[in-house]
């Protein structure tokens, strides 16, 4: 079978190099690559991407053998219909090894046409490390390298106002702000001077961003069939869901550098990213966290299995539309347009999300994703029985015993053991609570878990206890049926 480079014409790779992509992994190739490709197809960017890996060179070496062309396979559920749509990305001009060829990387950052630097170096990638050194920049962290690169650009243009839009996609709070703070710390350590710091503030926008797209990577299980359909071999193919969202918080003067909001994808520039963050955390992440433990204790192992059960579809539908959205107290159309996509995403048959994997660190996840809905609903006097039930399901899920240092729970009438994964402190506390006389009160009152004493909320402890009693005596499925029947009365 022919390689992709023998079968596909490279359309946009020779355009001026306007974007420097730090990170060659699956996420940025599926996310940023397709965005630039679509922008180029509409004449909005007219630029190509220079790709450089922050660490390993292997992916870039593979890309070079196929002329830096690759396929993104969007597959999943879109508007209730299963789709499988390949998109070829031809907008990568070349790959540069920032470890072995630092001088060439510096030349890239000094290009007159450069408008954008995008990164995905994992959550641990944006951090300040005092040990980083200019003398060994190849081994330094991404923020240290970025500081050195920006200083090179500053000197090359003699401090001229050559604007750059810097787009970190790392999943940390205030990713742009954090990255800028790291860069300025290195600038101070390395004595780049006040003129450089002023130039960074004047000419570089470190945008806070929120990305949302599930990228599953190379489809090992069915690649042979996929390649046959495509008609070519592509070892760098990356599969992902069709959904894509990107919110970019930056001042208006920088938005024209990268007008991605005009390319027909769900990309927005905004003055404040917080509403988008709240929407995602409460609806997508919150619905996940509030459902998966109950589904697991019902006997299901994947999100797909859960979504094939009408009982859980009804559970999630009511949770989202009757509790999460009203409690968020935001514009209804803003929330409902996003909520509609959640059901498509949960029902994606191509992504095998294991419920037990999602259960990792569920206590902190509930605190971050579901507690806000609970407290806001109570404050606004909105019925939130499903959210309360999800808290009861969490407490039941953590009912376990230690065996050889591993904390196990059981499901299916004690017939099947499962490992409960969380911090050692959480697991020890849960074990102690369940061997005590009032586990619900002890768990709800733990301020280390919830930041407040949930047992002080009038009636909450009794409601959670009643739901747990139903789950223990009647089983999870029957307890959910009772819960939803109550909502029909």
pLDDT tens for 113-131 read: 999 999 998 767 899 999 9
Mean pLDDT of the chain: 95
**CA dist., res. 348 & res. 353, Å (int):** 9
Q: pLDDT at position 489, please?
A: 62
The domain boundary residue, chosen from 224, 239, 272:
272
List of long-range contacts for 180-183, beta carbons under 8 Å, 24+ apart: 180/204, 180/206, 181/128, 182/126, 182/127, 182/128, 182/141, 182/143, 182/144, 182/147, 183/143, 183/146, 183/147, 183/150
Residues 33, 137 within the same domain: yes
Question: How would you label 17-36 residue by residue, b for 16+ Cβ within 10 Å and e otherwise?
Answer: bbbbbbbbbbbbbbbbbbbb
Residues 164, 309 within the same domain: no
**CA dist., res. 81 & res. 383, Å (int):** 32
Nearest residue to 206 (alpha-carbon basis) of 181, 246, 176, 173: 176
Residues 378, 430 within the same domain: yes
Question: Where in the sequence is the domain holding 426, given as residue range(s)?
Answer: 275-488
Residues 212, 281 within the same domain: no
Q: pLDDT at position 100, please?
A: 84
Residues 325, 425 within the same domain: yes
Question: Measured between alpha carbons, how far is residue 267 from residues 31, 35, 128, 388 in Å?
Answer: 11, 9, 30, 34
DSSP-assigned beta bridge partners for residue 167? 118
Residues 363, 297 within the same domain: yes
**Most distant CA pair in the chain, distance:** 74
Specify the pTM.
0.93
Share of the chain above pLDDT 70, in %: 99
For residue 360, the tally of other CB atoms under 10 A from its CB is 11
Q: pLDDT at position 130, please?
A: 93
Instruction: Note whether 144 and 137 are within 8 A (CB).
Output: yes
Residues 286, 330 within the same domain: yes
Q: pLDDT at position 46, please?
A: 98
Give the length of the chain: 489
**CA dist., res. 55 & res. 98, Å (int):** 8
Q: pLDDT at position 54, please?
A: 82
Question: Measured between alpha carbons, how far is residue 454 from residues 220, 286, 422, 428 in Å?
Answer: 46, 18, 20, 20
**CA dist., res. 189 & res. 183, Å (int):** 10
Q: pLDDT band for position 488 (50/70/90)?
A: confident
The domain boundary residue, chosen from 251, 272, 293:
272
> Is residue 191 scored above 90 in pLDDT?
yes
Residues 244, 294 within the same domain: no
DSSP-assigned beta bridge partners for residue 116? 19, 165
Residues 238, 306 within the same domain: no
**CA dist., res. 132 & res. 144, Å (int):** 7
Q: pLDDT at position 415, please?
A: 78
């Amino acid at each position: 079978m022919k390689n992709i480079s023998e079968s596909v014409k490279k359309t946009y790779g020779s355009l001026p190099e306007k974007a420097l992509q730090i990170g060659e992994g699956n996420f940025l190739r599926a996310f940023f690559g397709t965005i630039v490709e679509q922008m180029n197809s509409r004449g909005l960017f007219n630029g190509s991407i220079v790709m450089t890996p922050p660490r390993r060179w292997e992916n870039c070496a593979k890309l070079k053998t196929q002329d830096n062309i690759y396929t993104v396979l969007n597959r999943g559920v879109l508007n209730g219909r299963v789709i499988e749509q390949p998109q070829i990305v031809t907008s990568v001009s070349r790959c540069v090894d920032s470890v072995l060829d630092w001088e060439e990387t510096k030349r890239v950052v000094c290009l007159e046409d450069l408008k954008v630097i995008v990164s995905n170096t994992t959550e641990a990638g944006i951090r300040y490390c005092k040990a980083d050194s200019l003398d060994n920049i190849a081994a330094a962290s991404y923020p240290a390298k970025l500081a050195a690169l920006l200083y090179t650009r500053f000197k090359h243009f003699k401090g001229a106002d050559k604007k750059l839009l810097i787009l970190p996609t790392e999943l940390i709070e205030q990713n742009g702000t954090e990255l800028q703070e790291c860069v300025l710390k290195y600038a101070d350590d390395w004595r780049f001077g006040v003129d450089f710091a002023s130039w960074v503030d004047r000419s570089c926008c470190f945008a806070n961003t929120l990305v949302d797209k599930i990228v599953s990577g190379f489809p090992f299980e069915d690649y042979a069939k996929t390649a046959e359909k495509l008609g070519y071999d592509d070892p760098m193919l990356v599969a992902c869901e069709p959904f894509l969202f990107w919110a970019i918080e930056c001042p208006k003067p920088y938005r024209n550098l990268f007008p991605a909001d005009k390319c027909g994808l769900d990309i927005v520039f905004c003055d404040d990213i917080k509403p988008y963050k709240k929407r995602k955390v409460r609806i997508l992440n919150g619905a996940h966290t509030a459902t998966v433990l109950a589904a697991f204790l019902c006997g299901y192992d994947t999100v797909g299995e859960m979504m094939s059960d009408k009982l859980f579809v009804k559970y999630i539908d009511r949770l989202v539309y009757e509790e999460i959205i009203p409690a968020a107290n935001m514009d209804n159309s803003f929330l409902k347009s996003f909520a509609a996509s959640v059901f498509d995403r949960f029902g994606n048959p191509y992504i095998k999300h294991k419920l037990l994997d999602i259960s990792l660190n569920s206590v902190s996840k509930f605190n971050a994703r579901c507690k806000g809905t609970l407290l806001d609903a109570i404050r606004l006097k909105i019925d939130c029985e499903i959210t309360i039930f999800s808290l009861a399901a969490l407490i039941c899920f953590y009912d376990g015993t230690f065996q050889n240092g591993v904390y196990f729970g059981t499901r299916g009438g004690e017939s099947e053991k499962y490992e409960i994964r969380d911090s050692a402190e959480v697991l020890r506390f849960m074990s102690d609570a369940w061997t005590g006389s009032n586990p619900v009160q002890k768990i709800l009152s733990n301020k280390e878990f919830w930041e407040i004493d949930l047992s002080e909320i009038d009636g909450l402890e009794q409601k959670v206890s009643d739901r747990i009693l139903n789950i223990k005596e009647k089983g999870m499925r029957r307890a959910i049926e009772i819960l939803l029947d109550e909502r029909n009365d």
